[in-house]
């Protein structure tokens, strides 16, 4: 589904990604872990061109998104993204936030979008919050609306950039549970997280990044049970 070849990203002279090669198969859940500043978010943001790679290639279903002639807007709609924090429109209800893009971008009818919106709210456990405004929702509920909003565009891939790290600890579980359900349903996912329990339990594959490179990759059993690389070992021994 996703193939990344020799991806480099500079911010001015700072080389943040130093040659990333990886792939994500359909229905696979790939979890990216690593120390702060190792380039995990930048890598994820390059996948849907929120950041423009300095060099390298990214293919989504065989189509290069880095080639100049590709219409990235269409491809971007196929990748849902959930950020650490992404403010919903404050003067729109949860349902209106979810249906905005399907109606405006996908030209879906209002009734169809509402039907999808209600079913997505139910899916993320917020059936009764359709008419509630963001300031009435907890952080965990906001993130679940953000997931529903991304899903409303019927993405082929969901990208998660530390979706629980801005949440109070008691709300982390409800968001991870929604992500876990999505994974179980076969959604293709790339997840940047510091939640090692999630990585272990839900990840099909774990990528360990350090200093702009994928230093090691493997199954959760291998990465957490028997890390081969010295830096992976050092990182995990500090946080586990
Ligand atoms: N827009 C930007 N302009 C300049 N430097 C940036 C920009 N975005 C990120 N960086 C730098 O790139 C490096 C990698 O940042 P990135 O956010 O990708 O790391 P990370 O692994 O996701 O870290 P964390 O776990 O703390 O979120 C950092 O040194 C950061 O300061």
- The CATH number that applies at residue 65 is 3.40.50.300
pLDDT averaged over every residue in the chain: 95
Pocket of ligand 1 (CB under 6 A): 11, 14, 16, 34, 36-42
| Percent residues over pLDDT 90 in the chain | 89
pLDDT tens track for 5-42: 999 999 999 999 999 999 999 999 999 999 999 999 99
On the question of pLDDT at 74 being above 80, the answer is no
* Cα–ligand 1 centroid distance for 39 (angstroms): 6
User: Does residue 187 fall inside a structural domain?
Assistant: yes
* Cα–ligand 1 centroid distance for 52 (angstroms): 14
The answer to whether residues 134 and 87 touch, using CB atoms and an 8 Å cutoff, is yes
Q: What is the pTM of this model?
A: 0.95
User: Does residue 115 fall inside a structural domain?
Assistant: no
On the question of pLDDT at 236 being above 80, the answer is yes
**Ligand 1 pocket, mutate which of 33, 35, 39, 43 (most atoms under 8 A from CB):** 39
* Cα–ligand 1 centroid distance for 169 (angstroms): 24
Residue 75 has a pLDDT of 77
The total number of structural domains that make up the chain: 1
On the question of pLDDT at 68 being above 90, the answer is no
pLDDT tens track for 148-194: 999 999 999 999 999 999 999 999 999 999 999 999 999 999 999 99
Which residues span the domain enclosing 81? 1-86+155-235
On the question of pLDDT at 223 being above 80, the answer is yes
Rounded distance, CA 79 to CA 47, Å?
Answer: 9
On the question of pLDDT at 70 being above 80, the answer is no
User: Does residue 170 fall inside a structural domain?
Assistant: yes
Residue 84 has a pLDDT of 92
């Amino acid at each position: 589904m996703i193939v990344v070849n020799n991806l480099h990203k500079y911010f001015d002279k700072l080389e943040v990604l130093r040659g990333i090669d990886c792939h994500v198969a359909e229905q696979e859940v790939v979890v990216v872990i690593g120390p702060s500043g190792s380039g995990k978010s930048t890598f994820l943001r390059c996948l849907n061109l929120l950041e423009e790679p300095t060099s390298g290639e990214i293919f989504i279903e065989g189509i290069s998104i880095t080639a100049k002639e590709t219409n990235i807007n269409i491809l971007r709609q196929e990748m849902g993204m959930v950020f650490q924090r992404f403010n919903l429109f404050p003067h729109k209800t949860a349902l209106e936030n979810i249906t905005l893009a399907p109606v405006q971008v996908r030209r879906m009818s209002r009734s169809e979008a509402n039907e999808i919106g209600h079913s997505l709210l139910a899916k993320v456990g917020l059936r009764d919050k359709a008419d509630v405004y963001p300031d009435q929702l907890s952080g965990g509920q906001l993130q679940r609306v953000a997931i529903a909003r991304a899903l409303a565009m019927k993405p082929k891939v969901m990208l998660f950039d530390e979706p629980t790290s801005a949440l109070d600890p008691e709300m982390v579980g409800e968001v991870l549970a929604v992500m876990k359900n999505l994974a179980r349903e076969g959604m293709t996912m790339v997840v940047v997280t510091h939640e090692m329990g999630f990585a272990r339990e839900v990840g099909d594959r774990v990528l360990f990044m350090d200093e702009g490179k994928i230093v090691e990759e493997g199954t959760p059993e291998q990465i957490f049970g028997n890390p081969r690389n010295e830096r992976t070992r050092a990182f995990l021994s500090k946080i586990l």
